[in-house]
Amino acid sequence: MQNQTHDKHAQKSTRSKPVLITGGSGFIGSNLAERLLETGENVVLLDNLSRTGVAENAAALAERFGSRVRLVVADVRDKGAVAEWVGQASAVFHFAAQVAVTTSLLDPIQDFDVNVRGTLNVLEALRRLSAPPPLVFTSTNKVYGALSDITLREGELRYTPFDETLASKGVDEVRPLSFCSPYGCSKGAADQYVLDYAHSFGLKAAVLRMSCIYGPRQFGNEDQGWVAHFLIKALRGEPITVYGDGKQVRDILFVSDLVDAMLLTRDGIDRLAGTAFNIGGGPSNVLSLLELLGFIEELTGRSAELQFDLVRTGDQPYYVSNTSRFQHATGWRPRVAARTGVHMLHDWLLRHRLDLSTHRELAASRGQPHDACTSGAST
């Protein structure tokens, strides 16, 4: 009985500390922060505010939750700032990253510094603590490379694998890693460092290899966040560029379902540490680019003007997550169907029409990629 009482007091003491979210003002970070704050936890957002819209996300959270959310304007490459706030955290969600393949091709060194060195700063800060909090790290399906060995059947609107098991279940974690593009290399290296620190130093750390995430607070562009990007372009009546033939297939996951998965990972970290999980909508939430564009036409009531260009480096013609490992470990399943979620994002964007009208100008002036799903027409 005394041991149980001690454990309960220790848990209460740990949870009284804030949750640290690096990149916490971004699309995924702000959605996670909102859920944590709604359930009574305090949150620290560590963000350099370099991306369009993230300052507004932080301000909206502060307006609603007051002093229970704290914005720390700092870069994940700042070892001192990272160590200071990791040392005060009950848990760490590490989202801060350079998130676009295209940007990584233009500046591989910056991509490395943010994604690898920044992650090592977080890991080293945790390793130096006597009782390090759990870490949840967001990786990407890009660690599996271009998947060019998958033989595909071409349909009218989408590609489908000839392998029936792959078509019905998706890509699992047994798939060999095959880094492609500087972005794939940097995120893959960070992914492996997180797993190794769990095994070598006993950190309670797990990796979520994400497919395409979408939902409120996502203002996508050609480099990443393709679901929101297509919707925004269509709502503005602007031409949409499709890289490739548009039959590329992705499983899409609504952000609230991702938040569920992240909290289950934190809460089950004693069992899940040292493991990588594929997280996405799975085979029941699959869309090709052309299929999404067709649905958007239904929502907006008008046809979009399409322009086609060459396939971009690192693009996967087919990627669907097999989430069985995570489902078996936690009981998690996506709850928001693809068409329902796209409809919800469409309605959210309409309610934020002012943001739609200013987004293009802001993005052009800052020249920064934003959101947390990799890819224009690629992920």
Q: Determine, yes or no, domain membership for 250.
A: yes
pLDDT at 346: 95
Q: Determine, yes or no, domain membership for 373.
A: no
Q: Which domain holds residue 129?
A: 2-366
Q: Determine, yes or no, domain membership for 374.
A: no
Residues with a known catalytic role: 183
Average pLDDT over residues 289-307: 93
pLDDT band at 165 (very low <50, low <70, confident <90, very high): very high
pLDDT band at 180 (very low <50, low <70, confident <90, very high): confident
pLDDT band at 223 (very low <50, low <70, confident <90, very high): low
Q: Determine, yes or no, domain membership for 336.
A: yes
Question: By the 8 A CB rule, do 98 and 110 touch?
Answer: yes
Q: Determine, yes or no, domain membership for 10.
A: yes
What is the average pLDDT score of the chain? 89
Nearest to 171 by CA among 136, 145, 191: 145
pLDDT of 121 > 70? The answer is: yes
pLDDT at 147: 93
* 254/350 Cα distance (integer angstroms): 18
Look at the chain and report how many structural domains it folds into: 1
pLDDT band at 15 (very low <50, low <70, confident <90, very high): low
Q: Determine, yes or no, domain membership for 375.
A: no
From the CB of residue 285, how many other CB atoms can be counted at a distance below 10 Å?
24
Q: Determine, yes or no, domain membership for 379.
A: no
* 325/217 Cα distance (integer angstroms): 29
Instruction: Copy the structure tokens of residue 89.
Output: 């955290």
Measured between alpha carbons, how far is residue 344 from residues 10, 146, 158, 294, 347 in Å?
A: 40, 30, 24, 16, 5
Model confidence over 76-85: pLDDT tens digits?
999 999 999 9
Question: By the 8 A CB rule, do 40 and 110 touch?
Answer: no
- Cβ-based neighbours of 60, under 8 Å, separated by 6 or more: 30
Question: By the 8 A CB rule, do 379 and 316 touch?
Answer: yes
pLDDT of 10 > 70? The answer is: no
Say if pTM beats, i.e. exceeds, 0.85.
Answer: yes
CATH number at residue 326: 3.40.50.720
Model confidence over 335-361: pLDDT tens digits?
999 999 999 999 999 987 545 554 444
Instruction: Copy the structure tokens of residue 84.
Output: 């200071």
Q: Determine, yes or no, domain membership for 273.
A: yes
